[in-house]
């Protein structure tokens, strides 16, 4: 599903955030990406949906080479990948329903299928009753659910999440993890999640990729968090 070969990323300011990454993630896998702050987790994630382009190396997502991809083709790849952000990135003036529907309008889906599907995923993340509210009227956990609903509404093969529980309290975080678990188990969606949440990584066991200084220092099938903080 995702395949990185010798990926190297140097930012304009000289910081090397990826220093030769080699990774294969199979369809249906659930992968945690862990590591200290500044290790390069976000860079790793951002390169998967072309928010950042590697300086060298190859990245394939669902068969598409993201490195040679032309700028105007980028939207088409992003539509196949669901992305969940730590700061939710919801459109502030749109309602919960409209935010989720936006991702389907982008792919020019017919309006009745938008209506059915948006209702369906809002039900899945438990927000059907808040469809008409604005993001600002929701709690952090609820906003993150909207963001997840939006990421899965087009039935992507892979959902990528950068610290989706980073801004949430522990209880809410467990709720969010359950949503990811359902998506992964019931829909077979591949999930790549950068996280700082030790409890979650240790309790819901999945593959763990640990990154430090732009390098993969550990890659374990039923891994643990492995850091003290």
Partner 1 sequence: MKFRTIRRHFRESFKTLGRNGWMTFASVSAVTVTLLLVGVFVAIMLNLNKVADDLEHDVEMKVYVELAADEASTTALEDQIRETPGVAEVIYSSRDHELEQMISDFGDDLKLYEQSNPLREAFYVKAANPQQTAKVAQTIDEYPNTYEVVYGEGKVEKLFDFLNFGRTAGLVLILALLFTAMFLISNTIRITIVARKNEIGIMKLVGASNSFVRVPFVLEGIWMGILGSIIPILAVVFGYIEFYDYAEPRLRGEMIQILPPVPFLYIVSGLLFFMGIFIGIWGSFMSVRKFLKV
Ligand X SMILES: Nc1ncnc2c1ncn2[C@@H]1O[C@H](COP(=O)(O)OP(=O)(O)O)[C@@H](O)[C@H]1O
Task: Give me the residues that bind partner 1 (CB under 8 A), please.
Answer: 49, 51, 72, 75-76, 78-79, 83, 85, 89-93, 102-103, 105-108, 110-111, 150
- Give yes or no for a contact between 51 and 43, defined as CB atoms under 8 angstroms apart: no
Shortest Å distance, C-beta 16 to partner 1: 23
Phi, psi for residue 53 in degrees, rounded to 5: -110, 135
Which of 224, 89, 216 lies closest to 148, judged by CA? 89
Q: Considering beta carbons, is residue 78 or 205 the nearer one to partner 1? A: 78
Size of residue set near Mg ion by CB under 5 A: 1
Phi, psi for residue 208 in degrees, rounded to 5: -120, 125
| 190 binds Mg ion, rule: CB under 5 A | no
| 42 binds Mg ion, rule: CB under 5 A | yes
Neighbours of 184 (CB within 10 A): 18
Residue nearest to Mg ion as judged by C-beta position: 42
Q: Considering beta carbons, is residue 47 or 131 the nearer one to Mg ion? A: 47
Shortest Å distance, C-beta 190 to partner 1: 17
Shortest Å distance, C-beta 74 to partner 1: 8
Which of 202, 210, 227 lies closest to 39, judged by CA? 210
Residues that bind ligand X (CB under 6 A): 11, 13, 15, 17, 35, 37-43
3-state secondary structure of 116: helix
- Give yes or no for a contact between 65 and 102, defined as CB atoms under 8 angstroms apart: no
Shortest Å distance, C-beta 4 to ligand X: 14
- Give yes or no for a contact between 144 and 168, defined as CB atoms under 8 angstroms apart: yes
Q: Which residues bind Mg ion (CB under 5 A)?
A: 42
């Amino acid at each position: 599903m995702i395949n990185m070969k010798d990926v190297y990323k140097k930012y304009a300011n000289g910081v090397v955030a990826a220093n030769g990454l080699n990774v294969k993630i199979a369809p249906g896998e659930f992968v945690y990406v862990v590591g200290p702050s500044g290790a390069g987790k976000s860079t790793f994630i951002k390169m998967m949906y072309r928010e950042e382009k590697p300086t060298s190396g190859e990245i394939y997502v669902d068969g598409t080479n993201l490195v040679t991809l032309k700028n105007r083709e980028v939207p088409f790849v992003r539509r196949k990948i669901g992305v969940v952000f730590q700061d939710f990135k919801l459109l502030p003036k749109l309602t919960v329903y409209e935010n989720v529907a936006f991702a389907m309008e982008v792919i020019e889906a017919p309006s009745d299928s938008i209506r059915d599907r948006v209702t369906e995923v809002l039900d899945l993340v438990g927000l059907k009753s808040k469809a008409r509210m604005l993001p600002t009227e929701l709690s952090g956990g609820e906003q993150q659910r909207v963001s997840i609903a939006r990421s899965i509404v087009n039935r992507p093969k892979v959902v990528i999440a950068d610290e989706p529980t980073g801004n949430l309290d522990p209880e809410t975080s467990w709720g969010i993890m359950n949503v990811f678990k359902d998506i992964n188990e019931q829909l077979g969606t591949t999930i790549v999640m950068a996280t700082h949440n030790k409890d979650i990584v240790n309790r819901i066991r999945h593959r763990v990729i640990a990154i430090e200084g732009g390098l993969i220092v550990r890659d374990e099938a039923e891994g643990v968090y492995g850091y003290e903080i």
